[in-house]
Amino acid sequence: MTIRHSLLPVLACLGLAPAPSSGAPSAPVMEDPAIVPLPAKLEWRKREEGFAFTSPLPISAALAGTPEGQALIRSLQKTDIPFEAGGSAADVFDVSLSAPGLREEGYTLEITPNRIRIAAGGEAGLFHAVQTLAQSVVKDSQGRPALPAMTIEDAPRFEWRGLMIDSGRYMLKPNEIKRIIDLMAHYKFNRLHWHLTEDQGWRIEIKKYPKLTEVGSVRAESPVMGDRRRGDGTPYGGFYTQDEIRDVVAYARARYILVVPEVEMPGHSSAAIAAYPEFGNADIPDYNPRVATTWGVKSYLYAPTEKAFNFLDDVLAEVCALFPDSPYIHIGGDEAPKKQWKQSAMAQNVIKEQGLKDEDELQSYFIRQMEKRLKARGRRIIGWDELQLQGGLDPSAVIMVWRSPEFAKPVLENGNSIILAPTEYCYLDYNQGDSPARPLYDNINDGRRDWRHVYSRNPVPAGITPEQESRILGMQGNVWAEYIPNLLKWEYLAFPRALAVAEMAWTPQERRSEEDFARRLQRQEDYLDNKKVNFRRADGTPHIDR
């Protein structure tokens, strides 16, 4: 069977029309490639002939019949690179997998006027090599598409390179999440942290507890954009069915992106407790759980009782089945005010029975209970940094540092692994500059937080040991959605900053340069334009929705 993949999008991106010939030298190439994230090592031979890229890349039937050829085809199909597999043309690709000395995500890519050689540690590395290839098309000195003659040796700085989607506040449609996954794959992200439960909405179907979505997915109203104290009077609701979740997870998996779900506990749980009040602290005065209609920290926590633990364990059993590849389940743990546990005789009784010092230790007890249950299901927990810093935690838990980069060091000293997502430079929901001229695009204001603000940081804190540094799994950008009701605004806030995060997480620190990134970013804007991404332009306007 011949598989054809159109040449048109990649040529259209360059403003060119297709023409015959392949596996032949191009005219000399003067234009630098503009790859993001920058490869760990890249030598390109400026002024030399490159690989003329004017027709679909041929993959012979022989190559297509090998596991390497199959993996290559699967990867190419997820890009705009034109190829034709199973035809009679001679191969231009040399591909090897399990190449010695390369990690799973590592690869080398060698482009000469007649060949494209890829050696990869594993299929993920081959996928990344193909993304690099897709970003490497330039114009030769005659204005025709070419791949520059070059040698790349590449592997990621960090194993965790993520973005977080907050579906609790506002939901993106499954197809919109897939679009984000495509963009993530193009920039070599490999973790999608999916924040699925919140005070303002429970978004994941759980068969055993249907009221979680019947009741917990609908709030009576939302705060008005621009005035968080006023309600808009309009109910908002929705959730992802288990089929939709499985579909998104499979789509991401095919792009070597692991989806890691988050189910918040003990706080940020108003919606679940509104659905099942018996799992909250029902013995306190004025107990009246509701799906929250305002933003901010709420007082409703799960009760620290066996009954609530068993409920959560049932929920997590279904969550584990929906996310079979994720070694981690994120269980939140942030912003859990202890007022209800102070008021609840039931909670106080647990403190006494378990010999705990206070409500912070009760939180730690709660988390250990859930950690034990998840361990029995073969999963490790991830939690926000309060988890370790309030009441102590087992070193096997992974901590997501968010309140300040300063929390990284004490958590590492406790022996935990960390993922960096500090508000200071990883919260991609803050405005990127002054308030945008379009009020609809306004978000949280806290000074200039454009891509330069993000890019200028070194995620590795000073003064840690090499062993501690080895426990920094990586970093991610968080796109909290209180003020992001749709994809257009999501893209406006995430792009181009997400590209800065991608490079910080992939490229060795000493290779990074703000000015070189600025140059490459300009070229990447052509790609984002081609994909109709509503990125924030340098003048602050939304690129598509103008």
**What are the C-alpha distances in Å from 523 to residues 97, 180, 238?**
31, 19, 38
**Could you tell me the smallest distance in angstroms from the CB atom of residue 228 to ligand ACM?**
16
**Would you say 128 or 191 has its CB closer to ligand ACM?**
191
Least distance to ligand ACM, CB of residue 377, Å: 24
For residues 545 and 6, what is the distance between their CA atoms, to the nearest angstrom? Answer: 28
Residue from 31, 335, 360, 442 touching ligand ACM (CB under 6 A): that is 335
Q: Which of 8, 6, 13 is nearest to 523 (CA)?
A: 13
**What share of residues in the chain are helix, strand, coil (percent, to 5)?**
35, 20, 45
480/535 with CB nearer ligand ACM: 480
Nearer to ligand ACM, 126 or 301 (CB): 301
**What does DSSP say about strands 145-147 and 160-166: parallel, antiparallel, or unpaired?**
unpaired
Residue numbers 470-499 binding ligand ACM by CB under 6 A: none
Number of residues that bind ligand ACM (CB under 6 A): 4
Minimum CB separation of residue 385 from ligand ACM in Å reads: 8
Residue nearest to ligand ACM according to CB distances in the complex? 334
Select 126 or 382, whichever has its Cβ closest to ligand ACM: 382
Kindly tell me which of 97 and 426 has the beta carbon lying closer to ligand ACM. Answer: 426
Smallest separation, CB 264 to ligand ACM (Å):
9
Sheet of strand 138-139, all strands in order from the earlier edge strand to the far edge: 22-28, 49-53, 145-147, 138-139
105 and 156 in contact (C-beta within 8 Å)? yes
Whether residue 401 contacts residue 421, with contact meaning beta carbons closer than 8 Å, is answered with yes
Q: Please, what is the minimum distance in Å from the beta carbon of residue 443 to ligand ACM?
A: 14
Residue 402: CB minimum distance to ligand ACM, A: 4
Closest distance to ligand ACM from the beta carbon of 415 (Å): 22
Cβ contact 161:475 at 8 Å: yes
CB atoms inside a 10 Å sphere around CB 448? 12
* Of residues 129 and 426, the one with the C-beta less far from ligand ACM: 426
Which of residues 297 and 518 has its CB atom nearest to ligand ACM in the complex? 297
Within 428-467, the residues that bind ligand ACM by CB under 6 A are none
Plot region of 143 (φ>0 → left; ψ -120 to 50 → alpha; else → beta): left
Q: How far is the CB of 384 from ligand ACM (least distance, A)?
A: 5
Here's the x/- map for ligand ACM, 400-419, by CB under 6 A: it reads as --x-----------------
Q: Judged by CB under 6 A, which of 104, 182, 334, 424 binds ligand ACM?
A: 334
Nearer to ligand ACM, 314 or 334 (CB): 334
Q: Quick one: which of 326, 267, 265 has its CA closest to 297?
A: 267
- The length of the chain in residues reads 546
Site for ligand ACM in 363-402 (CB under 6 A): 384, 402
- As measured in angstroms, the least distance from the Cβ of 480 to ligand ACM is 6
Q: Is the Cβ of residue 125 or residue 333 nearer to ligand ACM in the bound state? A: 333
Nearest to ligand ACM of 158, 402 (CB atom): 402
d(CA 41, CA 221): 52
* 405 Cβ contact list (under 8 Å, min separation 6): 420, 422, 424, 457, 459, 461
Assess contact for 331 and 382: CB atoms under 8 A. yes
C-alpha to C-alpha distance for 507 and 509, rounded to whole angstroms: 6
Shortest Cβ 102–ligand ACM spacing (Å): 35
Q: How far is the CB of 427 from ligand ACM (least distance, A)?
A: 7
Give the three-state DSSP class for 130.
helix
Q: Which of residues 267-306 bind ligand ACM (CB under 6 A)?
A: none
- 341 touching ligand ACM, by CB under 6 A: no
Nearer to ligand ACM, 78 or 268 (CB): 268
Ranges of beta strands (E only) in 318-447 are 328-332, 380-384, 398-401, 417-420
Do 258 and 380 meet the contact criterion of CB atoms below 8 Å apart?
no
Which is nearer to ligand ACM, 176 or 424 (by Cβ)?
A: 424
Contacts of 460 (CB under 8 A, 6+ apart): 469, 472, 509
Minimal distance, residue 423 CB to ligand ACM, in Å: 7
Could you list the residues that contact ligand ACM (CB under 6 A)?
334-335, 384, 402
